[in-house]
Structure 1
Amino acid sequence: MRKHLEIVPVTGLPEVATGDDLVALVGDGADLRDGDIVSVTSKIVSKAEGRLTHGTRQEAIDAELVRVVAQRGETRIVQTRHGLVMAAAGTDTSNTAPGTVLLLPVDPDESARVLRTGLKERYDVNVGVVITDTLGRPWRNGQTDLAIGAAGVRVVEDLRGTTDSHGNVLAVTEPALADEIASASELVKGKADGVPVAVLRGLEDVVLPAGEHGPGARALVRDAEQDMFSLGTREAARAAVLARSAPGGVREVDPAVWAGLLDEVDDVHLEVGDHTVTVFGDEPVAVGVIAEKLAVLLHAEGYGVTVRTGPGNEATVTFGSRSQ
């Protein structure tokens, strides 16, 4: 049982630039001991690695994403090449020169391994390293820091098969230790205090032996195929209705929503009115199918929707005010 946890901010670090030696900055700035965990904000790792690009933020997002999870206006929640699902692909325009965008490290786990190895070689300390970034969470307001890179740390504690204090067998409990470490460290780093590094002491049982880096934070990433919420509500509805699949089984969203409904249906057309869409066609079944698909799409957009059949082979979809 852990009795005590100490979290110490590493203050006085200079502004980091491309090519700077993070091993020296951290090793000289922190009083490190065996068993400590070093939490490093990803921004200084990116700066040291020269992960700056010129252009707009939207262009940077386009270059970094592998799929769009949800989009509202210009705000995009995307999956990056790292497997992370986050707003704006983790790009950042704060504290960078005008016209430049800071990207995430190419391989945050490798960056953590390099830093850990360097600290062992130069300062003879066996520490764990967690690289953090700020993310929002589904169903929760606000943001918190999570681990996007890790080395020498047990990133997950598997409690499955153990029992709780009442003797109940735990079936699914797997605390994300690396994420908990990242969030705890943010309490002393802060978003506007200019403290990008913190040291956590008291978690020696989480730190792996020297030379053993572990699976890294990549082990915390859930594949889209296993994610029950791999798309936003609107995007999931469109993907289901339009039935278009991308390689790997991940659904794509066809932007031509209205036209896409008619791709494989003959002799059906739409008449769009004020808060109504009327579907006409020769086959009543086809008309009904299109009307119901429209209702699903409009509901996903936040509208109240009703569907009623009319005389002949037609159906009218009526939608009211938006609820979101």
Structure 2
Amino acid sequence: MTAALTARPLAPLPEVRPGDDLAALVRAANDDAPFAPGDVLVVSHKVVSKAEGALIDLRAVTPSPRAVALAAELEKEPALVEVILGQTAEIVRARRGVLICRTVHGFVCANAGVDRSNVAEGWCVTLPADADASARALRAALPGRPAVVIADSFGRAWRQGQAEVAIGCAGLETLDDQRGGTDRHGRELRATVIATADHVAGAADLVRGKTSGQPAVVVGGLGARVTAEDGPGAAVLRRAAEQDLFGA
């Protein structure tokens, strides 16, 4: 069992632009030191998206009739709704000014993950096309090959506030499946599957300000939960649509 966890934000990164070498920026923020065994680097998806060029100039977007109608219903900007629809496989809910979507990646979240915060006026940023692949590539380029979690803020049904979740992951035991074990009274565990990667993402967010320019945090002390293999990534965290009791 892990004895103690640490979380330390790296030095602020400069404004990340399309084509930037994110691994080089992270290495510089960590003084080019190798990461320790058991370390997990947690990075905001936004810097990954920016480096990969997932930025859209809303002034160049022509809204479709569907986007115009939805925008009027929800009191949103038509161009922004058009971008959201382009990232959406299914609209789960659209009411009271809120648009909840199942994204083309399989996530269920507000606005299909499209965001305008911390980007220039008139622009928006989308989620990485394949955050697990992005995590694997970043891990391979870092000294000591720490595990990597790419995180984003999601709202939660029946709960106020937002919490960080892992949308990309490499080198971390993403889920801790304890089913088949027993509790202290010998009863079999039938439903206990711990979302380790989401917990790590949340821990990192506690020491990272949203406006501090510190999108990268090292969470240490994960021990054997950090694996030599990249593993299945955050894809295993997504609940299959046919198992969703509330989305329909």
Q: Cα deviation per residue 1:144-175 (whole Å; 9 max; x = unaligned)?
A: 00000000111000101111122221111000
Partner of 2:195: 176
Offset at residue 91 of structure 1 (A): 0.7
Q: Cα deviation per residue 1:64-114 (whole Å; 9 max; x = unaligned)?
A: 001011111442000001100000011111222222211110000000000
Identify the match of residue 141 of structure 2 among 114, 118, 138: 118
Partner of 1:137: 156
Which TM-score applies when normalising by structure 2? 0.88
Q: Cα deviation per residue 1:192-230 (whole Å; 9 max; x = unaligned)?
A: 322100001100211111xx1101001000111111111
Q: Cα deviation per residue 1:269-303 (whole Å; 9 max; x = unaligned)?
A: xxxxxxxxxxxxxxxxxxxxxxxxxxxxxxxxxxx
Please tell me the residue identity of whatever aligns with 1:51. A
Identify the match of residue 201 of structure 1 among 198, 212, 220: 220
Q: Distance in 1 between matches of 2:10 and 2:120?
A: 25
Q: Is the 8 A contact 1:35 1:126 kept in 2?
A: no
For residue 141 of structure 2, give the secondary structure of its aligned residue in structure 1. Answer: helix
Q: Distance in 1 between matches of 2:26 and 2:112?
A: 27
Which has the greater radius of gyration? 1
Partner of 2:51: 48
Offset at residue 35 of structure 1 (A): 2.3
Q: Distance in 2 between matches of 1:98 and 1:184?
A: 30
Partner of 2:175: 156
For residue 44 of structure 1, give the secondary structure of its aligned residue in structure 2. Answer: helix
Which TM-score applies when normalising by structure 1? 0.68
Q: Is the 8 A contact 1:150 1:216 kept in 2?
A: yes
Mapping of residues 32-47 of structure 1, within 5 Å = 32-47=35-50
Q: Distance in 2 between matches of 1:24 and 1:228?
A: 43
Partner of 1:218: 235
Please tell me the residue identity of whatever aligns with 1:156. L
Mapping of residues 76-87 of structure 1, within 5 Å = 76-87=99-110
For residue 188 of structure 1, give the secondary structure of its aligned residue in structure 2. Answer: coil
Partner of 1:127: 146
Partner of 2:65: none
Partner of 2:114: 91
**Residues 188/154 of structure 1: CA separation in 2 closer, same or farther (3 Å cut):** same
Q: Distance in 1 between matches of 2:231 and 2:198?
A: 15
Partner of 2:84: 61
Q: Is the 8 A contact 1:70 1:78 kept in 2?
A: yes
For residue 189 of structure 1, give the secondary structure of its aligned residue in structure 2. Answer: coil
* Count, aligned residues: 225
Please tell me the residue identity of whatever aligns with 2:160. N
Q: Distance in 1 between matches of 2:145 and 2:55?
A: 31
Q: Distance in 1 between matches of 2:217 and 2:186?
A: 37
Q: Is the 8 A contact 1:16 1:44 kept in 2?
A: yes
For residue 77 of structure 1, give the secondary structure of its aligned residue in structure 2. Answer: strand
Q: Is the 8 A contact 2:14 2:213 kept in 1?
A: no
Please tell me the residue identity of whatever aligns with 1:164. D
Q: Is the 8 A contact 1:57 1:93 kept in 2?
A: no
Percent identity among equivalent residues?
46
Q: Distance in 2 between matches of 1:165 and 1:201?
A: 28
Root mean square deviation of aligned Cα: 1.2
Please tell me the residue identity of whatever aligns with 2:26. V
